[in-house]
Amino acid sequence: MLVNRKRSTRSIARRLGTATAAASLLAVAGLVGDLGGTLPASAAPPEAGMDRFLKQQVKWGACDDYPGGSELPGKGLQCARVTVPIDYKKPDGKTAEIAISRLAASGRKIGSLLTNPGGPGGPGLAEPVLLSKTKLAERFDIIGVDVRGLGASTPSVQCQSSAESQFDWKGSSHDRSDAGIAQTEKDEQTYVASCRARTDKDLLEYAGTVDVARDFDLIRTVLGDEKLNYLGYSYGTRLGSTIAELFPTKVRAMVLDGGVDPAQGLFSSQSAAFQRAFEDYATSCAKSADCPLGTDPKLATQKFRELALPLLDHPVPTSKSRTLGYSAAIDAVETTLYSQNAWPTLTKGLTELTRGNGDTLLALHEIDSGSDSNVFNAVRCLEEKRVTDRTEAATRDRENRSAAPFRDDGRGTGKAPLDVCAFWPIKPTAQPHTPKVSGLPKIVVVATTDDPATPYKSGVALAKAFDAGLITYEAEQHTVFGDGVACVDDPVVKYLTELTVPADGLRCAAPA
């Protein structure tokens, strides 16, 4: 079924270096529509009727009893659940249980540090472990969160199961004939009907970033923190900017890495950025005589398409029961473009493909395909400008093909199907906008110059919107804090612990 299921998270950018790491920590960003956040008039959650939520006691325990908890890495990680109202305007109504995790501070504690790895739909319970080697682990209880509708939180957004999402459509999604477009839209409507049938209606309506921001403020309160410390990556910067708008005076410190321009859609400008990342990979690969795309970077897009396009009609076998088709191969390639550390994995996968083997690329694709794609769609369909005009849909399709020719399937007809959000049952609740905030302390934005998922200019715009301190990292990857780059890590830690804002114009070069 054709659904937009790519996420904008930072896990791959931080951890990929081997095929094993790739198989355990991949997540990617996509190129679909505009995701934004014009906030409702009743921005802050009402206090009336909230006592039972505000006074609840957090009961920490082992994570083994949580879905996926036994697979969480690291020692010392504890888990708990926080009860929140699904609709904050109706605190006496239905509730949700938000799963959170904690790695307790090893030294003199400042407070809690709430985190979000990105998405929408990036699982968050492992985040404290991923940050455990930073200096933040000494001074903060690091808190991970599976946001409402996701992972170990209940109820969940359910549209497709993980098994159902592991299907690569070989036909209708790439068929731009009138019949093919009709079939694609029929598939999308079937997907939407599944969401309606399997997911609580109230949760579908209140699964947006504003609702998650309110959950984070409630979690802050029940953890006993007077003010919020927050670290968000990628889409997590959209969550952070929403928190900053809703609760500016309740923020102590906030770091946003891989920034999303609040006045633009989450996925604006990504097509061209991914093409640049592909070309940079090809230039590096071409230095080796056995590069599967050849030794002339200028021909790399052509060579890749010669490898990939046959998959539209003739998927290649793998050692599993599945074959590797075109869409899965493109997903896999985009996944590895998040970080130079992943390039060897991409080379391995493409080399296998030249031999008719899809094992590595399929493994990369399968990890990108998960139940969190349901949350991804639920959030973006609530918060994007919906395209219901077929001329506009065709224009966007044409622009994306032109901006990123490496993933053009060559079957464009000047027509395109409407996106799944055109059929979403809940009206949009937010739109991109320029925030107007007063009372917010100085926050910090980290932006990477050649970030394919959240382009550098978006981070600059985010910093400008909040008059934030800006750290520029001159490299090609998606997000950076926690990677061991001292020029970035040290000022971020100093800011979060001492509230010392980095010097204006701080620029950090990638390690040689």
Question: Per residue in 161-190, pLDDT tens?
Answer: 666 665 544 445 788 999 999 999 999 999
Structure tokens belonging to residue 235: 């889409």
Residue 419: burial class (beta carbons within 10 Å; 0-12, 13-18, 19+) = buried
Which residue range forms the structural domain that includes residue 146? 1-256+270-438
Q: Looking at residue 39, what is its pLDDT? A: 55
Give the pLDDT confidence of 306-349 residue by residue, as tens digits: 999 999 999 999 999 899 999 999 999 998 998 888 999 999 99
Q: Looking at residue 385, what is its pLDDT? A: 84
Backbone φ and ψ for 356, nearest 5 degrees, come out as: 80, 25
3-state secondary structure of 185: helix
Q: H or E segment at 1?
A: none
Residues 142, 496: Cα–Cα separation, whole Å: 12
Q: Looking at residue 266, what is its pLDDT? A: 57
**234 classed as catalytic:** yes
Q: Dihedral of the CA atoms 483, 488, 494, 500 (nearest 10)?
A: -150
Q: Looking at residue 365, what is its pLDDT? A: 87
Residues 6 or more apart whose Cβ sits within 8 Å of residue 51: none
Place of tokens 């739909």: 121
Q: Is residue 510 part of a domain?
A: no
Q: Is residue 85 part of a domain?
A: yes
pLDDT band (50, 70, 90) for residue 371: very low
**478 classed as catalytic:** yes
pLDDT band (50, 70, 90) for residue 239: very high
pLDDT band (50, 70, 90) for residue 135: very high
pLDDT band (50, 70, 90) for residue 268: low
Residues 6 or more apart whose Cβ sits within 8 Å of residue 378: 120, 149, 157, 159, 195, 199, 204, 207
Q: Is residue 446 part of a domain?
A: no
Q: Looking at residue 22, what is its pLDDT? A: 33
Q: Is the pLDDT of residue 460 over 90?
A: yes
Q: Which of 1-5, 54-58, 78-82, 439-443 has the lowest mean pLDDT?
A: 1-5
Write down how long the chain is.
512
Q: Is residue 176 part of a domain?
A: yes
Catalytic residue among 8, 234, 268, 327: 234
Q: Is the pLDDT of residue 401 over 50?
A: yes
Residues 6 or more apart whose Cβ sits within 8 Å of residue 503: none
Q: Is the pLDDT of residue 1 over 60?
A: no
Q: Is the pLDDT of residue 480 over 80?
A: yes
- Nearest CA to 479 out of 275, 341, 329, 330 is that of 341
Q: Is the pLDDT of residue 56 over 90?
A: yes
Catalytic residue among 173, 478, 483, 489: 478
Q: Which of 15-24, 381-390, 426-435 has the lowest mean pLDDT?
A: 15-24
Q: Quick one: how many helices (H) and strands (E) in the chain? A: 19, 13
Q: Is residue 420 part of a domain?
A: yes
Q: Looking at residue 26, what is its pLDDT? A: 32
In order of 103, 113, 315, 384, the CA distances from 261 in angstroms are: 31, 23, 38, 14
Q: Which of 8-12, 210-214, 439-443 has the lowest mean pLDDT?
A: 8-12
CB atoms within 10 A of CB 380: 31
- Nearest CA to 194 out of 231, 157, 221 is that of 157
Q: Is residue 491 part of a domain?
A: no
The CA-based diameter of the chain, rounded to the nearest angstrom, is 68
Q: What average pLDDT does this structure show over 251-260?
A: 97
Q: How many domains does the chain have?
A: 1
Q: Is residue 120 part of a domain?
A: yes
**451 classed as catalytic:** yes
Q: Is the pLDDT of residue 290 over 90?
A: yes
Residues 149, 152: Cα–Cα separation, whole Å: 9
Q: Looking at residue 294, what is its pLDDT? A: 97
Q: Is residue 459 part of a domain?
A: no
Instruction: Read off the amino acid at residue 335.
Output: T
Give the pLDDT confidence of 494-509 residue by residue, as tens digits: 999 999 999 988 999 9
DSSP characters over 394-435? HHHHHHHHHH-GGG--S---S--PPPGGGG-SS---------
DSSP characters over 196-235? HHHS-HHHHHT-SHHHHHHHHHHHHHHTT-SSEEEEEETH
DSSP characters over 75-128? SSEEEEEEEEESSTT-TTS-EEEEEEEEE--SSS--EEEEEE-EETT---TTHH
